[in-house]
Chains A and B, each alone.
Chain A
Amino acid sequence: KQEVTQIPAALSVPEGENLVLNCSFTDSAIYNLQWFRQDPGKGLTSLLLIQSSQREQTSGRLNASLDKSSGRSTLYIAASQPGDSATYLCAVNTSGSRLTFGEGTQLTVNP
């Protein structure tokens, strides 16, 4: 059974810092990995999707990497802003038809 762990559970940083969120998974036979953002009381917004054959994906200030063999992914946020404050969820697609989610990292960026 796939298990997904996100560390840290919460992170508070001053504005402008570069930061890294971590995601680890137990079964390396994955189709892809997806990072989501969730604002309080809201739905999930897809940030980046990395296929199993890819090593990284970039969108603006966000960069996600994938190391399938070690069961790890990182989400790098450059030059953080208060508007980046949210919960970030990592989800792994193992079976091809369902995602397994981590419990998320709650990020606070202080002005």
Chain B
Amino acid sequence: NAGVTQTPKFRILKIGQSMTLQCTQDMNHNYMYWYRQDPGMGLKLIYYSVGAGITDKGEVPNGYNVSRSTTEDFPLRLELAAPSQTSVYFCASSYGTGDGYTFGSGTRLTVV
């Protein structure tokens, strides 16, 4: 059971480039989430999804886009990367309302 898988683990982007962070889960969880973690800080919610075809903004959605075409996959798209998007990105999933979360191992992104 792989759980939540994120790729890539590390990436360096130049300012203005774009990329997609991949996230897939094999637990048949309905809910999926993207968080970012800045050094010494807690995690901030970027976007979340309660099911295929449904997405919603979290606390810090600016500069990001998401899609949820299948239950398993929840990619995060960065358009026009900026230094402020340098962070560690975590994908997570849960079965439903009030259930525990399972996190991926993270993607460390640096924008230079």
User: Chain A residues in contact with chain B, CB under 8 A?
Assistant: 4, 31-32, 34, 36, 41-46, 49, 51-52, 89, 91, 93, 96-99, 101-104
Collect the chain B residues with CB atoms within 8 Å of residue A52's CB. 98
- The answer, yes or no, to whether B64 is at the interface (CB within 8 Å) is no
- The reply to whether A98 and B48 contact each other, CB–CB distance below 8 Å, is yes
- Known contacts A31-B98, A42-B106, A99-B33; can you find 12 more A-B pairs with CB under 8 A? A43-B90, A43-B105, A43-B106, A44-B90, A51-B98, A52-B98, A91-B43, A91-B101, A97-B31, A98-B45, A101-B42, A101-B44
Give the bracket for the number of chain B residues in contact with chain A: 20 to 34
Instruction: Provide the bound-state CA to CA distance between A102 and B44, in Å.
Output: 10
Q: Which residue of chain A has the shortest Cβ distance to B103 in the bound complex? A: A44
Report B75 CB to chain A, min CB distance, Å. 18
Within 8 A of A (CB), among B51-82: 58
Instruction: Find chain A residues with CB under 8 A from B41 CB.
Output: 103
The answer to whether A42 and B105 have CB atoms under 8 Å apart is yes
Nearest CB of B to A19, in Å: 21
| In contact, A89 and B31 (Cβ under 8 angstroms) | no
